[in-house]
């Protein structure tokens, strides 16, 4: 399937609403054409500055205007960040994503400290990601020079629904920050949240905005809203797991080379539900007991799930896991004294094995 940058909302809605099994099969097939289905990238999200944000994002407990009983903190020290990064690496993460509750980055001592944090984590042979709010072109370049691997800046929803959730920052502001990051060698991480009261058309609209970027984001987080008491969205009902699977599958189909991250809301999902998300094309997660301020499964639980599903953490500095060729698979199985397996979808079928199977059938 050729990479496209001209998806329409109507096309994406048609994919999203396909019969479930058909959607799942198509997404899984495309996933195996572009990625190793048994490899998942693991990131640890660290809140290096919590609370006091001047924005009014309706889902976020870090907004200063909401009363959420959130315990804020000033910017962490470089040594504190290094200790957390070492802990994350020991637990299997290949990336540390540092988040600060800022509307936008301001030049000065705090930003200088963040740059040093990036350099420090880089020396640990880990990928470094930041989500710090809006960036200028110069600030993006300084982060790149410090060794930043990825920058996260979510679009959150469709442009039409965005204004229902946030009024202190425009949709174009977010696109401008992504554009500034693209002027560097830093990869882009950008996705959104479902379950905020948006329609299916809004979900498709968000995927239109992301998929028509050229290049498409290297990572797309799909979050399920975690309602927090004290925020405008506290009464929202949990997103059904079927909606999450459909969203993951649709994202995989329209952005085949992107890493699709199963993000917030995993504490509400069963292992079976998460397994279906991985089958549908999710190949990245956030690990650790918190995603900035919202709950997340414990690392040990995730590693137990990985073992159960036969999943392996992706190594650092790999932009996407490569699918194993059918020849490589067959060589591996033959070396183990086993018969070659059928090729994965999208690869040339082993005709010798196909002939053998047909002969058995006729017999």
Q: Please identify every residue annotated as catalytic.
A: 53, 57, 60, 97, 129, 189, 261
Residue list, annotated binding site for [4Fe-4S] cluster: 53, 57, 60
Alpha carbons 239 and 266: distance in angstroms, whole number = 11
Tokens at 271, concatenated: 């292992």
Cis amide bond preceding 215, omega within 30 = yes
Residue list, annotated binding site for [2Fe-2S] cluster: 97, 129, 189, 261
Judge whether 264 and 23 are in contact, CB under 8 Å: no
Alpha carbons 12 and 9: distance in angstroms, whole number = 5
Rg (CA), the chain: 21
Alpha carbons 186 and 336: distance in angstroms, whole number = 41
Residue list, annotated binding site: 53, 57, 60, 97, 129, 189, 261
Alpha carbons 330 and 342: distance in angstroms, whole number = 9
Let me know how many helices (H) and strands (E) the chain has, helices first. 13, 12
Bridge-based pairing of strands 259-262 and 95-100 is unpaired
Three-state secondary structure along 193-253? EECCCCCHHHHHHHHHHHHCCCCCCCEEEEEECCCCCCCCCCCCCCCCHHHHHHHHHHHHH
Beta strands in 72-142 (DSSP E): 95-100, 127-131
Three-state secondary structure along 271-323? HHHHHHHHHCCEEEEEECCEECCEECCCHHHHHHHHHHHCCEECCCCCCCCCC
Handedness of CA 46, 49, 50, 53 (dihedral sign): negative
Tokens at 107, concatenated: 């030049």
Alpha carbons 47 and 346: distance in angstroms, whole number = 41
């Amino acid at each position: 399937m050729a990479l496209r940058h001209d998806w329409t909302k109507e096309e994406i809605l048609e994919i999203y609403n396909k019969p479930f099994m058909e959607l799942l099969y198509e997404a899984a097939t495309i996933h195996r054409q572009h990625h190793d289905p048994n490899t998942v990238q693991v990131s640890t999200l660290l809140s290096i500055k919590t609370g006091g944000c001047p924005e009014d994002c309706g889902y976020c407990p870090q907004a200063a205007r909401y009363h959420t009983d959130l315990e804020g903190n000033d910017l962490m020290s470089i040594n504190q960040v290094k200790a957390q990064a070492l802990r994350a690496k020991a637990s299997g993460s290949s990336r540390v994503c540092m988040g600060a509750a800022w509307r936008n980055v301001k030049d000065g001592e705090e930003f200088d400290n963040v740059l040093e944090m990036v350099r420090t984590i880089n020396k640990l042979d880990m990928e470094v990601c930041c989500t710090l709010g809006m960036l200028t072109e110069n600030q993006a370049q300084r982060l790149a020079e410090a060794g930043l691997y990825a920058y996260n800046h979510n679009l959150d929803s469709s442009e039409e629904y965005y204004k229902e959730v946030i009024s202190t920052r425009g949709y174009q502001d977010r696109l401008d920050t992504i554009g500034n990051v693209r002027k560097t060698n830093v990869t882009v991480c950008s996705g959104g949240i479902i379950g905020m009261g948006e329609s299916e058309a809004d979900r498709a609209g968000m995927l239109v905005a992301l998929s028509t970027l050229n290049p498409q984001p290297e990572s797309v987080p799909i979050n399920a809203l975690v309602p927090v008491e004290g925020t405008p969205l506290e009464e929202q009902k949990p997103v059904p797991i079927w909606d999450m699977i459909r969203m993951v599958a649709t994202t995989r189909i329209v952005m085949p080379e992107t890493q699709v991250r199963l993000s917030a809301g995993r504490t509400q999902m069963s292992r079976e539900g998460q397994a279906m998300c991985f089958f549908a094309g999710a190949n990245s997660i956030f690990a650790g007991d918190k995603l900035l301020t919202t709950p997340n499964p414990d690392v040990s639980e995730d590693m137990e799930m990985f073992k159960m599903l036969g999943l392996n953490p992706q190594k650092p500095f790999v932009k996407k896991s490569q699918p194993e060729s059918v020849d490589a698979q067959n060589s591996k199985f033959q070396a183990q004294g086993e018969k070659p397996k059928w090729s994965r979808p999208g690869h040339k079928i082993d005709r010798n094995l196909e002939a053998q199977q047909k002969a058995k059938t006729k017999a």
